Amino acid sequence: MAEHGNGESGAVVTAGEGESNGYAIDNPGLPPHRPRLADVDEKAAKRSERQVATLFLLSIIGTVIFFVGYFAVARMDQFDDYFEGMTALRVQNTLLGVGSALAMLGIGLGVVHWARTLMPDHEIVEDRKPLRKEADRAEAEQIVTDVIDETQIKRRPLLRNTLIAAALLAPLPAVVLFRDLDTSEDFGVERLRHSLWAEGVRLVRDPTGTPIRAADITIGSAMHVIPENLREISGHGERLSEKAKSVVLLMRMNPDDFNEQIPGREDWTHEGIIACSKVCTHVGCPVALYERHTHHLLCPCHQSTFDAAENFKVVFGPAGRPLPQLPITVDNEGFLIARSDFTEPIGPTYWERGQTDPEGDFPA
Ligand code: FES
């Protein structure tokens, strides 16, 4: 490796010192090296050191803010009052976002500032040469040693210690977020497996809660419905969570328009009335658009399209599986009711989705 200058910060490389090496234009060399303030003034170097350490401390503070947002702010479903719950949710999201941004930015900016102000900035030219063996290995080791020396990490313990602390703490928010994949009963994905739908639960209009007579649904119409037992849930946050899982799209088509149905689902519809989860199986947007002539349901987020005439199978877009169908029938009074809960978890795919349900309701 040939260095221009003596390899120390502040080395001067003279323009025009190169040779032509057979090229038409002489190698102009490198421009003269201009030392930075921190190269020539120890006070400036100390100032830069403090600035870098401050950025690492900012990262540490960001990680702490993240944890405060995650653990100290009450969850939305712990509030009875909707507006208090929403305020808590906003505060929590702000703390999580600001905290993780500061944690990452602090380390990133600190390392960049360190490299720009304190690490040597001399130019290095490395010529091509044939590969050797032991000599190359020794040279590579020397390069690593030089880089460590050039970072000045050994003689600036403040930088080393704040960097180690920031780097150790910064990944912790990700570890905590993975806690949401906990499969225990009250916390985590198990709560996604079941909704409020159950045998005999009436389908009602949202938000009035009016039951729906099968005879009132005209061919070609589509509506958004919720389970009647939703109103029995008292906490506003909990009610919203359950509503998000249970919301259903109901539509009626000519029974002759149905294509071949999945075996076992022949009695899941009532005289052309069919129901499915409104939560898109891609990443969970509400599927909202029904095209009565093609019987296609469209998710506006990424254009996944589902065919209601064929058990809501995916006909276009990134969704990986059909919308879960809700088995329905009518009660003695002619009102639409569910035959059971969904027979598969609603919403986007998640890792544990295919695992055997502890209660044995869903297939593995
Ligand atoms: S969320 Fe529906 S297509 Fe992406």
Has this prediction a pTM greater than 0.85? no
Tens digit of each residue's pLDDT (9 = 90 or more) over 21-69: 667 777 777 788 888 888 889 999 999 999 999 999 999 999 999 999 9
Coil, strand or helix at 229: helix
The average confidence (pLDDT) of the chain is 84
Q: What is the pLDDT of residue 5?
A: 41
What average pLDDT does this structure show over 92-98? 93
What average pLDDT does this structure show over 235-247? 85
Residue nearest to atom 4 of ligand 1 (CA): 302
Would you say the CB of residue 298 lies under 6 angstroms from ligand 1?
Answer: no
Coil, strand or helix at 202: strand
When pLDDT is cut at 50, 70 and 90, the band that residue 363 belongs to is: very low
Q: What is the pLDDT of residue 1?
A: 41
**What domains lie within the chain, and their CATH numbers?**
2-181 (no CATH), 189-354 (2.102.10.10)
Q: How far is CA 307 from CA 117, 295, 316, in A?
A: 61, 6, 9
Would you say the CB of residue 304 lies under 6 angstroms from ligand 1?
Answer: yes
Would you say the CB of residue 202 lies under 6 angstroms from ligand 1?
Answer: no
How many A from CA of 313 to the centre of ligand 1? 14
